[in-house]
Amino acid sequence: MTDDSTDTDHESSKKSSQKSGVAQEAEKLEKSEKRNEAVEIVEGKVEKVSVSKHPEASIPQTDLSLADIKRRQFRPMRWVVYVVILLAAIIVPYWLGRVLAVQHTKQIIKLLSPFAPQGVALVSWAVTVFVLAAFALSFVEEHAWLWRDLFLLLLAFEQLIAGVSLLKFKFWFSTYVMYGSSSALPDAANLGIIAALLAAGIYAILFVGLLIGIKKDSPLNVLTRSWASFLMYFVIEGIALLVVLFSGILAAV
């Protein structure tokens, strides 16, 4: 009986010591939380680590909706100036290109003579492709004006190429009258621009079809994500370029 009571006393003392240890740990945790600290195991050791508090709201409470806030942030004058510059980027470079083609034909031929038609088509195609890409990114990154500004610069350059090449419906008649035997070079520039625009149209139709036809739980839904859609855009544009360069259309025009 004496041994049993002794064992019982030992067990009760152990339990009480464990309880007191747990209580002490709880008190330490509470104190550490008050001091903005946490107890973590770092490299096998229990250490106190400081943690950050939730930041206080820097924006005061308001009854305005998100639409009201955006309406107040909207700067119409900025957009008016941008639209004016956009129209100028479309009209002025094209007009300047046509003036150069009419009044400085020999200089244009001399400038383009070192290049092959394939190279001219590649340049005009690339400029048009990046014009369209910058235009799309200006909507994706609506708060970044970088893409809008880049779109204006590339658009002006593309319009200058189109003006020099006399781009219009049945352009090959105009280029032959203006450039004579050297018309293959401006024709190649026109074909590069047209190929890029047609490929962009095909991409737009496919993308809209994917949005409508593919269900949300379908594995093919990945094609509608931004990175996949841009990849598909460049693939289609690349196919259009290959058709222009290797189908014999440059020699046929």
Query: DSSP per residue over 169-216, as a string?
Result: TTHHHHHHHHHGGGTHHHHHHHHHHHHHHHHHHHHHHHHHHHHHHS-T
Residue range 67-81: mean pLDDT, rounded: 69
Quick one: pLDDT at residue 71?
Answer: 61
**Domain parsing of the chain, residue ranges:** 70-252
Q: Work out the pLDDT band at 245, boundaries 50, 70, 90.
A: very high
* CB burial of residue 71 (10 Å; 0-12, 13-18, 19+): exposed
pLDDT digits (tens, 9 = 90+) for 47-67: 666 655 555 555 556 555 555
Q: Supply the pLDDT for residue 2.
A: 46
H-only helix segments in 43-75: 66-73
* pLDDT of 80 higher than 60: yes
pLDDT at 161 over 80: yes
pTM of this prediction exceeds 0.95: no
pLDDT digits (tens, 9 = 90+) for 99-121: 999 999 999 999 988 999 999 99
Q: Percentage of residues in the chain with pLDDT exceeding 90?
A: 42
Label residue 46 by pLDDT band (50, 70, 90).
Answer: low
